Structure 1
């Protein structure tokens, strides 16, 4: 046997996600690179690790055994690394974050310098919709969550990070006047919604009901990126967070449609369970956020003030 830690890591992720494409995304590798690693790993065994049936990937019983062993080996490697950093007097451990889907445009900038300055810390970040983020927080599976809508039924502590603005958005080919439209415009522009459980949808629906807007619901899609591409393609309009459409606004693929009462304003928050004992890593991160958030905002998000 001559397998590498990289091959173990790749195969474990494939077994967890049941997909080469998803494994590549989560490992930040290309799909061909993951496929090559899998092929090289498989060549060291006479028994198949996976099977492809009707284009769907299945892990064999033998593959599941190997995946369990791979997880134990990688856990031991992490433990060795943590002990090495601890011996040097460095902060070690895992920082676990759950982030709402549109928060992926925000969260990396609020962790990058902290992780770079503390190489003994492993970052585990799960990006999903608001309902699942709140569920992971309630189950005490994470240290912190990043949300734009505070949970109703959980007692949490919070740090306000930065403003969140939502605008009415259309593709760059449509012509709209520059003076603000009144709410009657919603009777003529079909809206694309996010899925149930999305924080963006929650804010959008709350605003629509409060202002009795005459909306036409065009379709429902399951990610901010999918909504963005649908709007660019001319399939409809949407109410979207500014933070996720910077490039498309700058290159003319999207435009903000001026409407009275917009933008809808909320805030991004870092939250954690009230009364939760924080680990040394989580405590250090919270102190970092409180001390450095203003500098991160000025450096990375100053462009938001133009809108």
Structure 2
């Protein structure tokens, strides 16, 4: 589906270096330059420019890359699907953010696999930023995201709507009875790592009140939800997250919900894939089955 010159362009984009692209493609550097020059002449647009000694994409180059990357990814998946059809097997490689992957998806995956015994699944569980990077590089088919993402750059479907809450241990010694986000600033905030969707929602809420995470008395960043919850249970601070991630702890009274008036009450989970993919209909079907 791609000719040798567009593959050269994608390889240059991979390294942002003509020499490294030539090495991977086993051609000369002048040949790489000729391929890029041909594309620029054909499309009547400059694709690359130099910022000092660093190669960068022009706006036209950015657009060209996004379209070609989707075509290259679809070509790769098409070849895989054609092989799978001969074996009556489908392999899905996808990602889910930690709240979705660890607390929300288990029962749904169990049902999906029971209903689709010929499907092979590979799932990675990571934060929103990591999964978007994997999706952009064509390393996963789709992603289930809890955080914000640039909606104009992807195709997506709302997947679920979940409660977003503040929690603390039942006997947590608040400095004052909290009603607003500002009332929490005297407390220790235990929060997910940068790039997490759960964190991004809180940061957006704080930004709406002209506040930030660094305004809290103390900030503790934890990349693992289970460890984060343990710290909150042990009275070391407060946190905000999806209610589905703490259902058991709320039921067992290890944690309690803290009602904050200006904290967003719900947020959507999204099923996300590459924009304009030829497999969009398939991904929509899978989204409805999950």
* TM-score normalised by the chain length of structure 2: 0.63
Q: Distance in 2 between the 1:121 and 1:94 partners?
A: 6
* Whole-Å separation in 2 of the counterparts to 1:146 and 1:288: 12
State the match for 1:100 in structure 2.
97
CA contact (8 A) 2:166 2:259 kept: yes
Indicate if the aligned counterparts of 1:195 and 1:201 stay in contact, CA closer than 8 A. Answer: yes
The alignment's C-alpha RMSD in Å is: 2.8
Distance 1:84 1:273 in 2: 26
- In the other structure, the counterpart of 1:161 is 159
Q: Which residue of 1 aligns with 2:187?
A: 189
3-state DSSP of counterpart to 1:249: helix
Alignment of 1:128-167 (within 5 A): 128-152=126-150, 155-167=153-165
Q: Deviations over 1:81-114 (max 9, x none)?
A: x68962xxxxx12111111111112233343322
Work out whether residues 205 and 264 of structure 2, in 8 Å CA contact, stay in contact via their aligned partners in 1.
no
- Secondary structure of the 2:269 match is strand
Report if aligned partners of 1:154, 1:273 keep a CA contact under 8 Å in 2: no
Which secondary structure state, in structure 1, belongs to the residue aligned with residue 96 of structure 2?
Answer: strand
2 CA distance for matches of 1:288 and 1:137? 17
Query: 1:189-223: CA deviations, max 9, x gaps?
Result: 22112111111111111211211345333311112
Aligned residue for 1:124? 122
Question: Do the aligned partners of 1:193 and 1:217 also contact (CA within 8 Å) in 2?
Answer: no
Which residue does the alignment assign to 2:272?
Answer: 271
Work out whether residues 114 and 288 of structure 1, in 8 Å CA contact, stay in contact via their aligned partners in 2: no
Matched position secondary structure for 2:140: coil
1:262 corresponding residue in structure 2: 263
Task: Report the CA distance shift for 1:114/1:182 in structure 2 as closer, same or farther (over 3 A).
Answer: closer
What's the CA shift for 1:164?
A: 2.7
Secondary structure of the residue aligned to 1:234 is: coil
Gap change, CA 1:220 and 1:185, over 3 Å in 2: same
Contact 1:85 1:120 in 2 (8 A): no
CA–CA separation in structure 2 for the residues paired with 1:182 and 1:203: 16
Q: Paired residues, what number?
A: 203
SS where residue 163 of structure 1 aligns?
Answer: strand
Q: Residues 247, 149 of structure 1: CA spacing in aligned structure 2 closer, same or farther, 3 A cutoff?
A: same
- Structure 1, unaligned runs of 5 or more: 1-81, 87-91, 294-307
In the alignment, the residues of structure 1 paired with residue 129 and residue 271 of structure 2 have an alpha-carbon distance, to the nearest angstrom, of 16
How far apart are the structure 1 equivalents of 2:272 and 2:168? Answer: 32
3-state secondary structure, aligned to 1:141 = coil
Name the SS of the counterpart of 2:162 in structure 1: strand
Matches within 5 A, 1:1-307: 86=88, 92-104=89-101, 105-152=103-150, 155-174=153-172, 181-213=179-211, 215-278=216-279, 283=282, 286-290=284-288
State the alpha-carbon separation in 1 of the partners of residues 219 and 155 from structure 2.
37
**Residues 34-68 of structure 1, C-alpha deviations (whole Å, 9 max, x = no match):** xxxxxxxxxxxxxxxxxxxxxxxxxxxxxxxxxxx
Q: Partners in 1 of 2:266 and 2:279 — Cα distance? A: 31
Q: What are structure 2's unaligned runs of at least 5 residues?
A: 1-83
2:278 partner SS: coil
Segment drifting more, 148-157 vs 118-127: 148-157
